[in-house]
Amino acid sequence: MGQKPPQPEDFQVSLKDYLFTSESVSEGHPDKVCDRISDTIVDLFLAADPYARVAVETLATTNFVVLAGEVRGPDHLTHDLFREKAREAIRDIGYEQHGFHWKDCEIISHIHSQSADIAVGVDAAGAKDEGAGDQGIMFGYACNETEELMPAPIQYSHRILKSLADARHGGQKLLGPDSKSQVTLRYVDGKPVGATSIVVSTQHAAAASTEEIRELVRPHVMAALPEGWMCPEEAFYVNPTGRFVIGGPDGDCGLTGRKIIVDTYGGAAPHGGGAFSGKDPTKVDRSAAYAARYLAKNVVAAGLAEKCVIQLSYAIGVSRPLSVYVNTFETGKVEEAKLSTVLQELMNLSPRGIREHLQLNKPIYARTAAYGHFGRTPEADGGFSWERTDLVSDLKSAFGA
């Protein structure tokens, strides 16, 4: 008799015990410098007109910044003002280096008026509701691995770099603005239990030794992790190349929107592909991704699932989503199809409905440009409104929980 052919289960591996890695980059990373500048321009327009339209990209290299994109807003917002705001953003990050300095870097603005063809499809008119600014798919995710209901590897990666940035802004002269972190966690029975390796690369003063920077970084890493989670000493890598003095746009060209996995879930959940920074909230790449996170977080916060991913899809000029997909990865306590229906009853998922529910037409975006758009604390002025859990009681009531 012939041998039994391989079956699909022969190639499957356990999804309960594994290692998973995520990375973060700081506000001084060249791509994040660009995200910050682009979102600063978004805030500039929304502060002047809550219904302004903005889609601005930034490129940064050695002492040179280019702004490009299309806008619709008040005429008093000029190229000179765009350049001024870009300089302020660079100064706030902390760049005062020979190869990239907020005072003397050249800044060129090619921002122009929005296409009339896009405006016709997107704007509300008569009985027509405001349509999506583009087609696309957006994902939101939440899980119970951390108190922020975020995947642990990306959340701890962000914490490390935010702690280092706070120290630098507080006067630590040995640290530069550009840095990266990477956290690998061991999962047992599907739950994170500790770090197996940590990588931190941080720009530093030329006079600082590798060992000095290693010991400067160590307490920030340990404070970011739960007690007892520190990796073995031989797997703790700080500036593994040995030297990181030249950094930021002087060391590597930056562009808006190149760190979308850092911005979201560190690879632990799908991403639709659209970047967030530089876009006003009529762009569903941004607003619908925020809405999907908001809904997924409320599902997990309500105890209806241990983890939840939500996908929304849109067509340009069409107001309602084409699909609302919910997956609780067999951790859910309720039927996913009904959950999708209830979520759509609790929140209007048209572009206008999302903006109004989450109050997104505010200058709240520059602060999102580093350390993640999710897993943050909702703020009094409306910042990070998508991190609220104010649907929990309604969800519990809908399912009798």
Known binding positions? 29, 31, 57, 70, 114, 178-180, 243-244, 252, 258-259, 275, 279, 283
In the annotated binding site for L-methionine, the residues are: 70, 114, 252, 283
In the annotated binding site for ATP, the residues are: 29, 178-180, 243-244, 252, 258-259, 275, 279
Query: What CA–CA distance (Å, rounded) separates 336 from 57?
Result: 38
Structure tokens at 310: 């939500």
With the C-alpha atoms ordered 364, 369, 371, 374, is the resulting torsion angle positive or negative?
positive
Query: What CA–CA distance (Å, rounded) separates 134 from 239?
Result: 41
Determine the distance from the C-alpha atom of residue 166 to the mean position of all C-alpha atoms in its chain, rounded to a whole number.
19
In the annotated binding site for Mg(2+), the residues are: 31
Nearest alpha carbon to residue 195 among 159, 223, 156, 161? 156
Helix (DSSP H) and strand (DSSP E) numbers for the chain = 10, 13
With beta carbons less than 8 A apart as the criterion, state whether 73 and 32 touch: no
Rg (CA), the chain: 22
Nearest alpha carbon to residue 192 among 141, 243, 150? 150
In the annotated binding site for K(+), the residues are: 57
CB atoms within 10 A of CB 8: 6
Q: How many residues does the chain have?
A: 401
Beginning with the edge strand found earlier in the chain, give each strand of the sheet holding 236-238 in spatial order: 18-25, 175-188, 191-204, 236-238
- The single residue listed with the structure tokens 């530089």 is 278
Q: Crossing angle, helix 284-301 and helix 351-358, to 10 degrees?
A: 60
Please, which residues have CB within 8 angstroms of residue 393's CB and are 6 or more apart in sequence? Answer: none
With beta carbons less than 8 A apart as the criterion, state whether 63 and 100 touch: yes
